[in-house]
Structure 1
Amino acid sequence: MTTWETETRRVYAGGRTFGDHGAFEILEGRVRYSVDPADPRNRGIVDLAFAPRDESGRVGFRGDFTIIAPRDTTARKLLIDVPNRGRRLAFSILNRARPTELLEDPCAPGDGFLFRRGYALASIGWQWDVSNGLRLDAPEVRADGEPVEGDVVCRVQPGTDRAFVFFGQLGEVTYPPADPHDPGSRLFVRDDDNAPLIEVARHRWRFARERNGVVERSDRHIHLDDGFERGRIYTLVYRARGARVAGCGLLALRDAAESLREGDGPVAPGIRRVVAFGASQTGRVLRHLLHLGLNTGSRGKRVFDGMHVHIAGGQRGDFNHRFAQPSSAGVPAAGQRFPFAGTRVRDPLTGATAGLYDNLTHMPKVVITNTSFEYWRGDAALTHVSPDGTRDLVPHPSERNYLFAGTHHVNGIMPPTNVFAATGEKARYAFNVVDYSPLVRAAFANLDAWVSGTTPPGSRVPSLRASTLVERSTVLRRFAAVGGFRGLDPDRLGGLSALDLGEGVEEGVCDFPAVEGKPYARLVSDVDDSLNELAGIRLPEVALPVGCHTGWNPRHPEHGAAELPAIFVGFSHFDGELATPGEIERRARDCVRTLVADRFV
């Protein structure tokens, strides 16, 4: 059950028209959700049974929404845009609104790509712990009427030597410690993700910060006697109080989509197709939603016809366990466990047999797009290879999987720089400049056509069969042969491993830190003589080639751990003689014509 409360309704984009679909309007407000914990469709949501209930025995919660829909015509297609940490995605990634436009209006239309194709768009708040943007008021977990306590885990890798660090996970601190003086709180340190955790004596650290030379209590910082060392990885585990039912965010996405599809929301009835788009964190949200089988509505019908899962790799995330932190990334937890691929396969490390889509009654069409970064992170290959990396998997018939060769997580960055604008920290080399935006749009357009019956292009990923899927060390040896080049240490690169999270993990109660077992396969595309990736969809910069473009980039020595990768970025390197501009243009046009013919741009 959903109730839509529209707070503002106005003409969108100054009345600009979008082809035959005319002018649009924008609606913003709140959605009231009401779910039945006894409904079998909701059985996978951790702690839903412990949330407060109303007189009818249902659990209620509310969330934000933004809807943009035709003003005078009826939309036949709906895109559910899954906000990343409160930020709407489709306007920048699919409509290609410029950053300057989005600063003035977070819903700037860009070139109107979606609206010209007849889409209504609904951005649905699903994350409860964001302070800005679209959010959800998730219910609290109660046991015998009292808030529950449990373990929280955080990861910190400082870029400078410092006396204290903030331990928020790509955002605010989700759960402050229940007792800052708890002797059971633990802090560990290691030099890389493959090294053993070394516990730091409790008397040497505390929940505190320094201000004007004075150490003062803080529930968002930890202070260490000898200071934190740049580049080292610190893992913090402590007890918190007052868990939220984080999985209600997944129910919000499902139920809002169903309501709009069935004509029960503020959009005119008539929607025939519903697709979802998520990127990075929210690509992992969609993978989690699929894994839980949340694609059946209250009337027993399909909710989503298709999903575009962008730059999620092979992971799910912190979206459905007790004391989950939805913004967390890189911390071994419940969302980093098998299965990784849609195709059903046996995991030789745990003995389990499963596929990501096993719990679905209604299978949507799924388009997966990843950059080289997600492969080098150590998990994207698991979407199409066996967990031990010994064989290619038979592709799932309702899935397409594409690698954007020679690209990185945050898309091409121009003008060239090696400095992160948000933090001022550096990577060793200038960031990757390859703009893969045309590939994202084409992948979405192919999904749009697929849900209406047109078969999309086949998957383009590296494979064992084609000898293009290799260990990271194989590629790094090729780079090491280049004089003066400083690469990564392959023995220190992370990835996914079999995890022991305690006996309660199947009920969503985890013991932290996770005990990490044997590693899963951590494979990447091999490279050609120009050191560009052989497999995947190759844009002209990679195929011609014009320079060398990667999905990995070493940390800058100033920030420590220079043999480990900087987060999210690759690099572009230009060396040697290039062909004449005329020759480059001719070859680039030939390359683009082939990409267009293959429906990749």
Structure 2
Amino acid sequence: MLRPFAAAVVSCIAAGAFCVAASAAVTRVEITERGELPAFHGYERIVGKVHFAVDPKLAANRIIADIDLAPRNAQGLVEFTADLFLLRPADAAKSNGTVLLEISNRGGKGMLGMFDLGGRPDPKSAEDLGDPLLLEQGYTLAWVGWEWDVPARPGLMRLDAPRIAGITGLVRSEIVQGQRTNRASLGDRAQIPYAVADPKSATMTVRDAPDGPRTTIPRSQWSFNSDGTGVEFESGFAPGRIYEVIYQGKDPAVAGLGPAAIRDYVSYLKQSGPDHTGEVKRAIGFGTSQSGRFLRTFLYYGFNADEKGARVFEGLWAHVAGAGRGSFNLRFAQPSRDGHPRLNLFYPTDIFPFTDEPESDLGLTDAILAQAVKSHTAPKIFYTNGSYEYWGRAASLIHISPDGKRDFGPSPDTRIYYLAGTQHGANANPERRNTENRANPQDYRYPMRALLVAMNAWITQGTPPPDSRIPLIGKDELVTPGALAFPKVPGVQLPKEPYTAYRLDFGPEFRTKGIVAFEPPKVGKPFPILVPQVDQDGNEVAGIRVPELAVPLATYTGWNLRDAQIGAADVGMDMVGSFLPFPRTRTEREKAGDPRKSIEERYASREEYLRKVAAAAEPLVRQRLLLERDVKPITGRAGARWDALMNPAGGGQ
């Protein structure tokens, strides 16, 4: 049975919709769909839109870039709206009191797939739920649109942010294609780009390496398309080369209202909620990749204090964000731009500071938590990164000194967990797609589920979570790429170098006002980049080693190489790791000259292998890094992997 509307629900002007009265920054919540979740009895699904109005004079809103230039209503407030999607217990008594709010990655909804092992973004049937851990434990699940440039497509979460008419500024659009084409968007991926103010002054360059010389392409050889959202290049964009279009953009969105929307809606939920039942007592913010960088940025600017100075998130979890922040509160911000070996280079993503505690570099001392510590609103924090993030997202910088010579421990209320031997996304198909090697199929979602239970116990009951699991310089577990002891596996080459973060200068008002004056930025010295050390099989020795890594059938890496057909063949592939199966037999190993022991030399039988996998899970369960309920499916996956590799007809190699 659905929870009845409270007396605060009033008719909305929009036909067929409802509005829930609110206060402070959230002026009303317009509910357009509401009903029982058919896939899980006792949960309801709410779709709507949140209306905000923030006072630009309040201290909490002074941190929003360009808030003084934003258009205001008759009361002097800045108005904006955000899409809303909620799944919550219909009976408040069955709520666990925690809202788990996922920061949407480019408008998507991914945490059901993460924590419920394949749950769909908008579940409509039991098959869409996966293993419904989140619903069984009584979480309120929330998504709020925060990104202004998300395309208007069904199911995506968007922020409708006001534009600042008449303002112009530099915009840089990087273009790297996987095949020759004559057209490219000015926006990152599918995102909406900024309008072009002055087509004639725009330039386009090309280079072959991040630090390579740029060659200017004559203006007569390329043009903007008819609607100004892309470029057309007569000769064609060559695969793997790095093109940059720099132009004067106009009418920027007030992008910093995105983190304000997250802040103010969570505060609203905790104060009253849609039905004023008050079942939400605490909040966890979770974000993957772009969204994890958003949360690190959210902390850095001080958004974890609401308009009244109260803590917003009790727990905050940035997953596979590496060392990054991003363009989330800048003029002409491009929130989707990140930074990878061959994607989105030299954007304001991997910029100092990197650590929660104060660190110093080039005369500047700063910390991710500086503002939260000052306002007494620092949350409990999890940072989870895999092997790819050390190779492709400079993750070592969050726990080493800026000179790379010593370990830099996390703050007392921060845990850093390294998911050894994993790529950016979990549970990939082990096949080649524009890569030299097969993709890494390791599934880190199982420890993620256990860590969620630990995080909620930490913020609810004060139970400390497992200690950090990171590779350490002091134990020779974190090394320079040149010191990596990777075995000489026939036909396998390492990337020329890992992704490198540089000291970047975007102009004199970048740190104080969020204004970029230099595009491309002035590039200084690189930061040190360290990678996890490996054993004789090429598997990493530190961190959380899931059973399939501890009892291996293959080498699992966080790096892969680009296929020569897409260009830059010696460069690491963005976000993809490698799956390098061991030889099946001793004869195969000796014939290939592979230094790694074969599968038959390691395990007498399939049964022995699976016993060892189950045994490897036991200490992880005791350490609260795996759930007991997940040991059986983990063992099942291991058995399927054995069958695929040892049965040639199964496509193992």
Q: TM-score, normalised by structure 2?
A: 0.84
User: What's the CA shift string for 1:272-316, capped at 9, x where partnerless?
Assistant: 211111111111111110001111223332111001111111101
Aligned pairs for 1:414-425 within 5 A: 414=429, 416-419=430-433
Q: In 2, distance between residues paired with 1:233 and 1:127?
A: 26
Which one-letter code corresponds to 1:521 in the other structure?
A: P
SS in 2 for 1:370: strand
Aligned to 1:212: none
Q: State the alpha-carbon separation in 1 of the partners of residues 75 and 570 from structure 2.
A: 58
Partner residue of 1:189 out of 206, 224, 237? 206
Match of 1:128 in 2: 148
Cα deviation for residue 233 of structure 1 reads 1.2
CA contact (8 A) 1:498 1:518 kept: yes
Distance 1:478 1:79 in 2: 40
Aligned ranges for residues 199-210 of structure 1 at < 5 Å?
Answer: 199-208=216-225
Q: In 1, Cα distance between the equivalents of 2:563 and 2:525?
A: 29
Paired letter, 1:377: G
Tell me which residue corresponds to 2:355. Answer: 341
Aligned residues: 567
CA shift for structure 1 position 324: 0.7
- 1:285·1:316 contact (CA, 8 Å) conserved in 2? yes
Give distance in 2, aligned partners of 1:542 and 1:588: 9
The offset of 1:103, in angstroms, is 8.4
Report what 1:451 is aligned to. Answer: 459
Encode CA deviations 1:14-44: one digit per residue, 9 max, x unaligned. Answer: 5x33xxxxx0111111101111111111222
Question: Structure 2 residue aligned with 1:35, among 49, 54, 59?
Answer: 54
- 1:451 counterpart SS class: helix
Relative contact order (alpha carbons < 8 A, sep ≥ 6): 1 or 2 greater?
1
CA distance in 2, matches of 1:115, 1:478: 43
User: How far apart, in 2, do the equivalents of 1:111 and 1:206 lie?
Assistant: 50
Gap change, CA 1:107 and 1:263, over 3 Å in 2: farther
> Which residue of 356, 368, 376 maps to 1:356?
368
CA deviations on 1:110-132 (whole Å, 9 max, x unpaired) are 32211211211111111111123
| Alpha-carbon spacing, 1:408–1:114, altered in 2? closer, same or farther (3 Å) | same
1:483 deviates by: 2.5
Match of residue 403 from structure 1: 418
Which deviations, in whole Å up to 9, do the C-alpha atoms of 1:209-240 show, x marking residues without a partner?
A: xxxxxxxx452332334332211111221111
Alpha carbons of 1:408 and 1:106: their partners in 2 closer, same or farther (altered >3 Å)?
Answer: farther
Corresponding residue for residue 509 of structure 1: 515
Q: Distance in 1 between matches of 2:59 and 2:293?
A: 23
Q: Quick one: distance in 1 between partners of 2:249 and 2:321?
A: 28
Q: Is the counterpart of residue 88 in structure 1 residue 109 in structure 2?
A: yes
Per-residue deviation, residues 400-439 of structure 1 (Å, max 9, x unmatched): 001100000111213x2112xxxxxx11111001111101
Query: Is the 2:203–2:219 Cα contact (8 Å) retained in structure 1?
Result: yes
Q: How far, CA to CA, are the matches of 1:464 and 1:356 in structure 2?
A: 22
Partner SS, residue 170 of structure 1: coil
Question: Which residue is equivalent to 2:5?
Answer: none
| Equivalent residue number for residue 614 of structure 2 | 589
What amino acid sits opposite 1:400 in the alignment?
R
Instruction: Note the 1:174-573 alignment, pairs <5 A.
Output: 174-180=193-199, 182=200, 184-208=201-225, 217=226, 219-266=228-275, 268-330=277-339, 331=344, 332-347=346-361, 350-360=362-372, 361=375, 362-414=377-429, 416-419=430-433, 426-452=434-460, 453-475=462-484, 478-479=486-487, 481-490=488-497, 493-506=498-511, 507-510=513-516, 511-573=518-580
> 2:568 is aligned with what amino acid?
A
Q: How does 1:133-148 map to 2 (within 5 A)?
A: 133-141=156-164, 146-148=165-167
The answer to whether the Cα contact below 8 Å between 2:337 and 2:347 also exists between their aligned partners in 1 is no
CA contact under 8 A between 1:317 and 1:336: conserved in structure 2? yes
Could you tell me whether the CA contact under 8 Å between 1:189 and 1:200 is conserved in 2?
A: yes
The CA deviation at 1:82 is: 1.2
Counterpart secondary structure, 1:147 = coil
SS of corresponding position for 2:474: coil
- What amino acid sits opposite 2:556 in the alignment? H
How well do the aligned residues superpose, as a CA RMSD in angstroms? Answer: 1.9
C-alpha separation between the residues in 2 aligned to 1:300 and 1:324?
A: 26
SS class of match (1:193): coil
Q: Does 1:118 align with 2:123?
A: no
- 8 Å CA contact 2:197–2:250 kept in 1: the answer is yes
Q: Identify the residue that residue 20 of structure 1 maps to in structure 2.
A: none
- Report deviation, 1:13: 2.6
SS at match of 1:231: coil
- The CA distance in 2 between the partners of 1:13 and 1:278, in whole Å, is 26
Letter in 1 for 2:106: R
Alpha carbons of 1:193 and 1:104: their partners in 2 closer, same or farther (altered >3 Å)?
Answer: farther
Aligned partner of 2:613: which letter?
A
Contact 1:91 1:107 in 2 (8 A): no
Once residues 365 and 47 of structure 1 are traced to their aligned partners in structure 2, the CA distance between those partners, rounded to angstroms, is 30
User: Is residue 173–residue 245 contact of structure 2 (8 Å, CA) maintained in 1?
Assistant: yes
**Structure 2: tracts of 5 or more residues without a match:** 1-24, 584-597, 627-653
TM-score, reference length from structure 1: 0.91
User: How many angstroms does 1:581 deviate by?
Assistant: 1.1
Max radius of gyration: which structure? 2
Cα distance in structure 1, aligned partners of 2:475 and 2:176 = 37
Q: 1:13·1:109 contact (CA, 8 Å) conserved in 2?
A: no
Contact kept? 2:327, 2:337, Cα under 8 Å? yes
Partner of 1:8: 33
Give the conservation status (yes or no) of the 8 Å contact 2:321–2:389.
Answer: yes
1:214 aligned residue: none
Q: More displaced, 27-36 or 575-584?
A: 575-584
SS at match of 2:191: coil
